[in-house]
């Protein structure tokens, strides 16, 4: 792939989305090695997280379509070799996180994918793209599960900074683009249609009630975590979010 033609986006926007894959991949070892190598690359290239996460989920039963998707990622990397995560000096100690969930996005088991990005000042210092372990019956439930993961990460970060003698001027702020999940964080009455949400997910509400976290609504068009969790993005939307992750062209 050293002489491959670069491409502008990681995931094709014209895929049929069919979960049936009739052609198994004969060389599973190469696929697994390359997918594992790309996993390391996401340490400094968070913009690759969604595509690499999808590839790693298919390691046990890879197909020719998965191989094509992997080569597409390599073509994207080929054209962006000079890019990396930029960390700069920031006077702000405000922690804020953007989170999103793709409700039932996996066509195989209909589980949702959650992702979030945590910023300290202007710098993104933590990010996750992960398939949820349980099925979500509602989009609100899928988003609420994503809130749990982001809340736990933000809580750990506050604890770590406190051990280092760094005290935050305000509680971490979580930005969610689902009004239902936002309301559940402060609503003391759990409605009948959401009773199936497990007790574990009330962790967020307790944090909000004790003012350790603040959960606020953000419109979908401004949701930076969109790049970690959702469908294939067009080039304009992808690069808009790409720049917001502080993934920039670095000097040689």
pLDDT of residue 22: 61
Q: How far apart are CA 236 and CA 8, in angstroms?
A: 10
Mean local confidence (pLDDT), 165-184 = 87
Backbone CA torsion sign across 248, 154, 103, 74? positive
pLDDT of residue 16: 44
Alpha helix ranges (H) inside 92-202:
139-163, 179-184
The answer, yes or no, to whether residue 235 has pLDDT greater than 80, is: no
CA-nearest of 35, 42, 120 to 83 is 42
Q: How many CA atoms lie within 13 A of 154 on its CB side?
A: 33
pLDDT of residue 156: 92
Summary count for the chain: helices (H), strands (E) = 8, 7
- Predicted confidence (pLDDT) per residue in 35-87, tens digit: 989 999 999 899 888 888 888 888 888 888 888 889 999 999 998 888 888 88
DSSP code, position 59: G
- Predicted confidence (pLDDT) per residue in 127-170, tens digit: 988 888 877 777 888 888 888 889 999 999 999 999 999 889 89
- Predicted confidence (pLDDT) per residue in 17-38, tens digit: 445 556 888 888 889 999 989 9
**Beta-bridge partner residues of 100:** 115
């Amino acid at each position: 792939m050293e002489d491959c033609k670069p491409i502008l986006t990681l995931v094709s926007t014209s895929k049929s989305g069919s979960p049936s894959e009739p052609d198994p991949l004969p060389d599973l070892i190469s696929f697994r090695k390359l997918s594992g190598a790309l996993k390391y690359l996401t340490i400094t290239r968070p913009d690759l997280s969604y595509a690499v996460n999808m590839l790693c989920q298919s390691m046990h039963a890879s197909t020719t379509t998965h191989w094509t998707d992997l080569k597409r990622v390599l073509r994207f990397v080929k054209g962006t070799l000079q890019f990396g995560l930029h960390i700069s000096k920031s006077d702000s100690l405000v922690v804020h996180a953007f989170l999103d969930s793709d409700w039932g996005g996996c066509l195989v088991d209909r589980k949702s994918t959650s992702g979030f990005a945590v910023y300290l000042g202007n710098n993104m210092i933590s990010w996750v793209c992960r398939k949820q372990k349980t099925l979500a019956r509602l989009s609100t439930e899928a988003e609420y599960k994503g809130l749990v993961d982001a809340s736990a990460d933000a809580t750990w970060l506050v604890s770590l900074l406190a051990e280092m003698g760094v005290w935050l001027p305000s509680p971490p702020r979580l930005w969610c683009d689902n009004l239902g999940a936002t309301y559940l964080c402060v609503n003391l009455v759990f409605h009948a249609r959401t009773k199936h949400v497990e007790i574990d997910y009330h962790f967020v509400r307790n944090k909000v009630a004790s003012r350790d976290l603040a959960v606020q609504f953000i419109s979908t068009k401004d949701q930076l975590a969109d790049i970690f969790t959702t469908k294939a993005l067009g080039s304009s939307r992808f690069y808009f979010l790409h720049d917001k992750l502080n993934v920039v062209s670095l000097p040689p």
